[in-house]
Homo-oligomer: A and B are copies of this chain.
Amino acid sequence: MAGSTFGTIFKISTWGESHGKGIGVVIDGCPAGIPLSEEDIQKQLDRRKPGQNRYTTARAESDQVEILSGTFEGLTTGTPISLLVRNQDQRSRDYGTIAQLYRPGHADYTYDEKYGIRDYRGGGRSSGRETIGRVAAGAVSLKLLAEIGITVNAYVSAIGPVSIDRERMDLSYAEESPVRMPDKEATKEALAWLEQCIASKDSSGGAVECIVNRVPAGLGEPCFEKLDANLAKALMSIGAVKAVEIGDGTAVQKAKGSENNDAYLCGEDGVPYKASNHSGGMLGGISDGAPLFLRASFKPTPSIAQPQSMLGRDGKCHVESIHGRHDPIIVARAVPVVEAMTAVTLADHLLLAMASQIGYVKKIFGQKKI
């Protein structure tokens, strides 16, 4: 069944395989009148591109995007925006040996069980290159959100045993850090840890956090299309994510109500505010006007150079090593992907929330000539 489409009225449909002709996305339902250029999209794609440093795969791809439709004279027209990135470095010979093997931690076995056939070259559709479509769509979403001032920022908060220190945290440093950690000290420790992983032909898990500012209160549609529910789906749909947390996340297990409730206080100027933000900016699945706070846990890259016991299509087990170019860690490159999925989800919810009150309908159509 169609599973490559996300969103209800702001809808993205991605396509493409690792070693096919290219990767792309169709964004349908984007409102008309938003400035959009290829540069806007390229900027985000460059952040997820391979080959950025020694901790990302060496695959040579320029990942140049082409806008095929949906804009006119620099503005979105309300019609579908089709984006195309051609694959260049397809060295499929690297992957030939594993055509007959199901690698541990990969989707090889499950694709074959589901479809009875699979494009085994570089993971096919289950490859990390699939996220190009997400990031491209995310770039368009970010432009939409920017129109009302919403900003989305993700960063790496943990790699293996190394976590950022909330006291030392400096968001302006994150993009400078080779592992996108907003903490110089933690970055240094993380790099040391990664060297160890590389030396032992191993890989490491990690976490990405995301903060969204200036979200209007009122986004999210109870009871199943809650904002947090769709953000959880959006992030969990990213390959390798195994947990999604909102606000305090798993820590709420141990909390008491008196600690977890965010009290409303009134400032000296009489303006009310929340004393804390344990809820991560959502109550009852609806944004409350405070910043959204999300966290996704990524499993270690399953492609490691150590020999592993794999299952063959022949039904027998084989101990083999995976050759090729792989990331010892993916969280750094996942940062723009997390931002993208967050932005795409918010764009849809922003548009959906316009239909909440009859007063909003009148505001738009009461003023139209008929």
Mark out the residues of chain A between 1 and 34 whose CB falls within 8 Å of any chain B CB in the assembled complex. 1-11, 13-17, 20-24, 26, 28-29, 31-34
For A17, give its contact among B69, B130, B239, B309 (CB under 8 Å). B69
Q: Whole-angstrom distance between the alpha carbons of A228 and B232 in the complex?
A: 10
Q: Which residues of B contact A148 (CB under 8 A)?
A: 361-362, 365-366
CB distance from A285 to the nearest CB of B (A): 7
* In the complex, A180 has a CB within 8 A of chain B: no
Cβ contacts under 8 Å, A8 to chain B: 1-2, 8-9
Output the least CB separation between A247 and chain B (Å). Answer: 6
Interfacial chain B residues near A356, Cβ < 8 Å: 1, 31-32, 78, 114-116
The quantity of this chain's copies bound in the complex is 4
Q: Would you list the 4 A-B pairs with minimal beta carbon distance, nearest first? A: A107-B284, A3-B221, A2-B29, A3-B225
- Determine whether the beta carbon of B104 is less than 8 Å from that of A256: no
Contact in complex: B116, A24 (CB < 8 Å): no
- The reply to whether A302 and B261 form a contact with Cβ atoms under 8 Å apart is yes
Whether, in the assembled complex, A215 has its beta carbon less than 8 Å from a beta carbon of chain B, the answer is yes
Measured between alpha carbons, how far is A23 from B84 in the docked complex, in Å? Answer: 12
Complex CA distance for A232 and B117, rounded to whole angstroms: 28
Q: Is the CB of B354 within 8 A of A355?
A: yes
CA–CA, A298 and B249, complex, Å: 9
Q: Which residues of B contact A233 (CB under 8 A)?
A: 224, 229-230, 232-233, 236
> Chain A, interface size: which category?
35 or more
Known contacts A2-B221, A266-B316, then 7 further A-B pairs from the complex at CB < 8 Å, ordered by chain A residue: A13-B80, A115-B357, A148-B361, A200-B258, A229-B233, A350-B365, A363-B364
Contact between chains at A253 and B359 (CB < 8 Å): no
Decide: B370 and A257 in contact? CB cutoff 8 A: no
- Tell me the residues in window 178-214 of chain A with beta carbons closer than 8 Å to chain B beta carbons: 197, 200, 202-207, 214
For the complex, give the distance between the alpha carbons of A197 and B82 in Å.
38
Q: Mark A248-263, 1 if CB is under 8 A from B, else 0.
A: 1111111111111111
A110 touches B284 (CB 8 A): yes
- Which residue of the partner chain B has the closest CB to A120? B72
User: With an 8 A cutoff between CB atoms, is A124 at the interface?
Assistant: yes
